[in-house]
Amino acid sequence: MPDITLTTLQGLKQKGEKITMLTCYDATFAHASCAAGVEVLLIGDSLGMVTQGHDSTLPVTVADMCYHTASVKRGNQGAFIIADLPFMAYATVEQTLHNSGLLMQAGAHMVKIEGAAWLADSIRQLAERGVPVCVHMGLTPQSVNLLGGYKVQGRGEAQARQMRADAIALEQAGAAMILLECVPSELAAEITQAVKVPVIGIGAGSATDGQVLVLHDMLGLSISGRVPKFVKNFMSGQDSLHGALSAYVSEVKAATFPGIEHGFSA
């Protein structure tokens, strides 16, 4: 696979070809995901739950993220690498710049931050300094205590209007990618049409420019037993890791995953 860059991903959006992203936390899975054709590896702070055993992403530190980003970089075979800024690591613009620098030096090609319009200044300053930013909107798991649980966001016209406006404002501020989590499928489709940057969905329907899942979820490795509606177990019917990862890539590319049953209504 030739090296995937931000330009490659923008080109895929323009051509209408779906982008494949999976979370990844170590070198072995980075290597295996690349061999199956996964284009984007996300070192998500979900590692706090799936590798560290916490019940939320809040305990994850910048040092944890740098450690896993460096591990993924060593196993990477040309995928585009995105790393999450963890809880409270971007509370001020100064913290955002400093901690993004650490993630980029560890091997990330882009940083991801959770939020909405309030991030505009940080995103602008990162972009000015050469750091591409993915903004994670909709269900933002670091705000689980404020949201009162892991709930669908953007339901109802007022919330939907706000999310559309925020996405456009953040693209104008310099965001190079948008990730929508647990957003009604129609709203995700509208936002995908409204912006030029790639929009990646998880629980956001099939109309986004690409899809992401948490690696352990799509391999059927949940330890909590709680499997979100938007997850499909790609290990089912396969007899190897390579088979499961390749099935994910094929189904996302063919737009057969996600199905209607994996999405949410307004």
Q: Judged by CB under 6 A, does residue 20 bind ligand KIV? A: no
Of the ranges 44-52, 66-74, 220-228, 248-256, which one interacts with ligand KIV (CB under 6 A)?
44-52
- What are the strands, taking DSSP E only, across the chain? 19-23, 40-43, 80-84, 110-114, 133-138, 177-181, 199-202, 210-213
- The 167-206 contact track toward ligand KIV, x by CB under 6 A, reads ------------x-x--------------------x----
Residue from 70, 63, 61 nearest 41 by CA: 70
Of the pair 60, 120, the CB lying nearest ligand KIV is at: 60
Q: How far is the CB of 40 from ligand KIV (least distance, A)?
A: 11
Pick the catalytic residue: 39, 114, 171, 181? 181
Long-range pairs, 57-64, Cβ under 8 A, ≥24: 57/86, 57/87, 57/141, 57/142, 58/87, 58/142, 58/144, 60/84, 60/86, 60/87, 61/86, 62/86, 62/89, 62/99, 62/102, 62/103
Of the ranges 25-33, 42-50, 151-159, 256-264, which one interacts with ligand KIV (CB under 6 A)?
42-50
DSSP calls for 109-146: SEEEEE-SGGGHHHHHHHHHTT--EEEEEES-GGGHHH
Residues binding ligand KIV: what is the number (CB under 6 A)?
Answer: 11
Q: Judged by CB under 6 A, does residue 214 bind ligand KIV? A: yes
Interface with ligand KIV (CB under 6 A), residue from 64, 84, 190, 209: 84
Q: Judged by CB under 6 A, does residue 46 bind ligand KIV? A: yes
Count of alpha carbons within 13 angstroms of residue 122, beta-carbon side: 26
Q: Judged by CB under 6 A, does residue 85 bind ligand KIV? A: no
Burial (Cβ within 10 Å: 0-12, 13-18, ≥19) of residue 127:
middle
Q: How far is the CB of 239 from ligand KIV (least distance, A)?
A: 26
Examine the residue annotation and report whether 181 is marked as an active-site residue of this protein.
yes
Of the pair 26, 181, the CB lying nearest ligand KIV is at: 181
Q: Residue written as tokens 């800024």? A: 85
Q: Judged by CB under 6 A, does residue 39 bind ligand KIV? A: no
- Residues belonging to the active site: 181
Residues contributing to the site for ligand KIV (CB under 6 A): 23, 44-46, 84, 136, 179, 181, 202, 212, 214
